[in-house]
């Protein structure tokens, strides 16, 4: 069974600084997709970024980028120029067959002004 692990229950960053959230996963599949979702206090699940495992290039979406290390089964999220609105719970997720998502435990990010 797929597992996703986020080893940092909480992280904090100063506004305008950079922070990296860690995620590791376990799968026997060769092709798969990885995602980061953001859950602000409203509890809405918002897609931040996605990575296709067969692509070596790391995905980037504006201030959000990933460091995807396939051999190490590592998928970290880097947030640059952190903003107060980035404060949220961040979930790493791996897609299993049929687009089902297996989520990690989440990392609560605090952004300090």
Partner 1 sequence: DSGVTQTPKHLITATGQRVTLRCSPRSGDLSVYWYQQSLDQGLQFLIQYYNGEERAKGNILERFSAQQFPDLHSELNLSSLELGDSALYFCASSPLGSSGNTIYFGEGSWLTVV
Binding site for partner 1 (CB under 8 A): 31-33, 35, 37, 42-47, 50, 52, 91, 95, 97-103, 105-106
Of the two residues 13 and 35, which places its CB atom closer to partner 1 in the complex? 35
Tokens representing residue 55 in the block = 């692509």
Of the two residues 85 and 113, which places its CB atom closer to partner 1 in the complex? 85
For 72, residues 6+ apart whose C-beta sits below 8 A from its C-beta are 24
Q: Least distance (Å) from partner 1 to the CB of residue 7?
A: 15
Q: Least distance (Å) from partner 1 to the CB of residue 113?
A: 27
Of the two residues 13 and 88, which places its CB atom closer to partner 1 in the complex? 88
Tokens representing residue 56 in the block = 């070596």
Of the two residues 98 and 113, which places its CB atom closer to partner 1 in the complex? 98
Q: Least distance (Å) from partner 1 to the CB of residue 54?
A: 10
Q: Give CA separation, 104 vs 18, 40, 55, 56, 63, in Å.
A: 22, 16, 22, 23, 22
Measured at the alpha carbon of residue 24, what is the angle toward residues 22 and 30, in degrees to the nearest 5? Answer: 135
């Amino acid at each position: 069974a797929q597992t996703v692990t986020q080893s940092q229950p909480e992280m904090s960053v100063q506004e305008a600084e950079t922070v990296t959230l860690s995620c590791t996963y376990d799968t026997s599949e060769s092709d798969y997709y990885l995602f980061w979702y953001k859950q602000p206090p409203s509890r809405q699940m918002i897609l931040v970024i996605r990575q296709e495992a067969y692509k070596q290039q790391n995905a980037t979406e504006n201030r959000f980028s990933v460091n995807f290390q396939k051999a190490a089964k590592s998928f970290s999220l880097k947030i640059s120029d952190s903003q107060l609105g980035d404060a949220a719970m961040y979930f790493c997720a791996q897609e299993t067959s049929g687009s089902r998502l297996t989520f990690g435990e989440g990392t609560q990010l605090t952004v300090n002004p």
